[in-house]
């Protein structure tokens, strides 16, 4: 027999260590250091600009108070301590999308630090530390094109330059791609609840860079880390982490060494690609921003912001379990976004059985949203509409069998349950005379089954019920059909 000693001494097993840096665009009316609108997304290029965000010499920045407030709010929601004294710093580097050739960011005195986020999977839960939350500004956007001569060129759209950006840096306490996904989903939910950020990875309002290393299981030291960039969806982050952890494991197992570097995720090929090594890492030459005053957030202001915090996902989950009697699983699913949680509650206010509501929302509604790649914001079934459908279901106007079909039609067309069943003739047939005729027909058409039933083969009943359901195209009320058949067959 192989002892466990010999089997483990051969191969070292490695565990992943992951720390995430998230950039979230803040939902303020104006930009971080000027009065330009921050709602640049649907505007024509270069129409949301002024001397400040264009980086013109002699222009002076002003701190956006709403952005500071949203960052403090976020810090509080992430259990951070809020700095009594903080300031902005210049981070110097050159790139065509950086209008001033420096970014006004925060360096050694971030607004918030030392917090944590709780993530949970089923009944397990654990904390991921938050190292810091600070404020900075977004860059302009480069649009890459190919010219008529075949040469590439880039266009600069300055609308995004100066949009408030909040950076949230975790401790290296994430241990798998799964946990990273849970962390990001929880973080995004919290930001959405706070109204701090739309949280769209696809639109780039919520971006994530991942720092990854591996180390022998049992070791408490950190291995050399690699920073992975360019992931534009939750799925991309997940895949990139699986890939990168495996790549590092293989390098180490074949006797190689990890070099500290920045790698980019190539989503099409499903690999990370080396971009620059530490040798070429930038030296940002940070120094305090001389054009902005230091900030001393008053404790009274911080406490006033704390008092205005909305109910956050964890608290909502507890309330959904306690108040509505939902399972932990359903509650977790529903509080994943404030929109979903609000939708559920709006239906539950109009329909007494909250568990049924939870089933429909996390089941059919989520399935259709997924299949059509839409979000709840554009859903055409109002909470009142779903509540009405559930009431009609209880009354037997909509049959259990056809409910999903009716719901799907409501989802597709925005029509009410009543309209759908009327138009498509899906109203359940509970009319006795009509059903009696159908039952009679089925018995006449299948004398053998009738004889079988009367001879004691009770399973023949199921067949006959099926025939009636078929001839009514599923609209018969199965309970009534069953009762009628038992009556007639018994004669
Ligand atoms: P840098 O100075 O390169 O930005 P930091 O120490 O500030 O590095 O950490 C940046 C991010 O990298 C944080 O999220 C942190 O948790 C994570 N991190 C730091 N060291 C490691 C490591 N060895 N493995 C994985 N993640 C790490
Ligand atoms: Mg960094
Ligand atoms: Zn501006």
3-state SS record for 409-474: HHHHHCCCHHHHHHHCCCCCECCHHHHHHHHHHHHHHCHHHHHHHHCCCCCHHHHHHHHHHHHCCC
211 lines ligand 1 (CB under 6 A): yes
Atom of ligand 1 nearest to the CA of 222: 23
Atom of ligand 1 nearest to the CA of 171: 16
Q: How far apart are CA 33 and CA 178, in angstroms?
A: 37
Position 5 scores a pLDDT of 43
For the stretch 434-456, pLDDT in tens is: 888 888 999 999 999 999 999 98
How close is the Cα of 196 to the center of ligand 3, in Å? 20
Q: How far apart are CA 121 and CA 136, in angstroms?
A: 33
Q: Which residue has the tokens 């706070």?
A: 194
Q: Where are the domains of the chain?
A: 4-303, 311-424, 432-489
Average pLDDT of the segment spanning 35-46? 94
Average pLDDT of the segment spanning 51-62? 97
Q: How far apart are CA 307 and CA 22, in angstroms?
A: 26
Position 7 scores a pLDDT of 42
For the stretch 183-233, pLDDT in tens is: 999 999 999 999 999 999 989 999 999 999 999 999 999 999 999 999 999
Query: CATH number of the domain at 432-489, please?
Result: 1.10.10.410
Using DSSP's 3-state secondary structure scheme, residue 409 falls into: helix
Average pLDDT of the segment spanning 375-382? 89
263 lines ligand 1 (CB under 6 A): no
Burial class (CB in 10 A: 0-12, 13-18, 19+), 168: buried
Position 6 scores a pLDDT of 42
Q: What is the CA radius of gyration of the chain?
A: 30
How close is the Cα of 334 to the center of ligand 1, in Å? 32
Average pLDDT of the segment spanning 282-286? 89
pLDDT value at 481 more than 90:
no
pLDDT value at 394 more than 80:
yes
Hey, which of 172, 245, 260 would you mutate to test ligand 1's pocket, going by the most ligand atoms within 8 Å of its Cβ? 172
Average pLDDT, the chain: 92
Going by CA atoms, what residue is nearest to atom 17 of ligand 1?
Answer: 19
pLDDT value at 4 more than 60:
no
Average pLDDT of the segment spanning 50-66? 97
Position 1 scores a pLDDT of 39
Residue 194 CA, distance from chain mean position: 15
pLDDT band at 260 (very low <50, low <70, confident <90, very high): very high
21 lines ligand 1 (CB under 6 A): yes
Average pLDDT of the segment spanning 142-164? 96
For the stretch 302-360, pLDDT in tens is: 999 999 999 999 999 999 999 999 999 999 999 998 899 999 999 999 999 999 999 99
Ligand approaching nearest to the C-alpha of 211: 1
If we measure between CA atoms, which residue out of 82, 84, 175, 75 comes closest to residue 130?
Answer: 75
Higher pLDDT, residue 396 or 241: 241
pLDDT value at 431 more than 80:
no
Q: How far apart are CA 209 and CA 275, in angstroms?
A: 14
Going by CA atoms, what residue is nearest to atom 14 of ligand 1?
Answer: 19
């Amino acid at each position: 027999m192989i002892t466990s000693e010999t089997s483990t001494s051969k191969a070292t097993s490695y565990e992943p260590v992951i720390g995430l840096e998230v950039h979230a665009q803040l939902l303020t009316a104006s930009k971080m250091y000027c009065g330009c609108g921050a709602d640049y997304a649907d505007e024509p290029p270069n129409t949301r600009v002024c001397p400040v965000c264009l980086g013109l010499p002699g222009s002076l920045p002003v701190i956006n108070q709403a952005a500071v407030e949203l960052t403090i709010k976020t810090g509080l929601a992430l259990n951070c301590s809020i700095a009594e004294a903080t300031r902005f710093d210049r981070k110097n580097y050159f790139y065509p999308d950086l209008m001033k050739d420096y970014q006004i960011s925060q360096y050694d005195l971030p607004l918030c630090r030392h917090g944590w986020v709780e993530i949970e999977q089923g009944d397990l839960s654990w904390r991921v530390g938050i190292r810091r939350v600070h404020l900075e500004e977004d860059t302009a956007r480069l649009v890459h094109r190919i010219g008529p001569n075949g040469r590439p060129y880039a266009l600069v759209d300055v609308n995004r330059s100066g949009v408030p950006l909040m950076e949230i840096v975790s401790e290296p306490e994430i241990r798998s791609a799964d946990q990273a996904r849970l962390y990001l989903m929880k973080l995004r939910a919290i930001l959405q609840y706070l109204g701090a950020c739309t949280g769209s990875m696809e639109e780039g309002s919520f971006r994530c860079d991942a720092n990854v290393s591996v180390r022998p299981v049992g070791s408490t030291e950190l291995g050399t880390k690699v920073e992975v960039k360019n992931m534009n969806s939750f799925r991309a982050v997940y895949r990139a982490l699986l890939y990168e952890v495996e790549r590092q494991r293989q390098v180490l197992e074949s006797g190689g060494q990890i070099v500290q570097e920045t790698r980019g995720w190539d989503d099409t090929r499903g690999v990370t690609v080396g971009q620059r090594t530490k040798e070429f890492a930038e030296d940002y030459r940070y120094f305090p921003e001389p054009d902005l005053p230091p900030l001393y957030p008053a404790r009274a202001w911080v406490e006033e912001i704390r008092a205005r915090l909305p109910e956050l996902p964890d608290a909502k989950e507890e309330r959904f379990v306690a108040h509505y009697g939902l399972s932990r699983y359903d509650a977790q699913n529903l509080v994943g976004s404030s929109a979903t949680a609000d939708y559920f509650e709006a239906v539950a206010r109009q329909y007494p059985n909250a568990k049924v509501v939870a089933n429909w929302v996390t089941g059919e509604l989520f399935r259709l949203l997924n299949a059509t790649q839409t979000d709840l914001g554009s859903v055409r079934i109002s909470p009142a509409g779903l509540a009405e459908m559930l009431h009609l279901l209880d009354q037997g106007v909509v049959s259990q069998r056809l409910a999903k079909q009716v719901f799907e039609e409501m989802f597709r067309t925005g029509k009410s349950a009543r309209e759908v069943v009327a138009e498509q003739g899906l109203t359940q047939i509970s009319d006795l005379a009509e059903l009696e005729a159908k039952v009679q027909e089925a018995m006449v058409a299948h004398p053998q089954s009738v004889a079988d039933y009367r001879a004691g083969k009770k399973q023949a009943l199921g067949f006959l019920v099926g025939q009636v359901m078929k001839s009514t195209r599923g609209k018969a009320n199965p309970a009534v059909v069953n009762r009628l058949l038992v009556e007639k067959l018994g004669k």
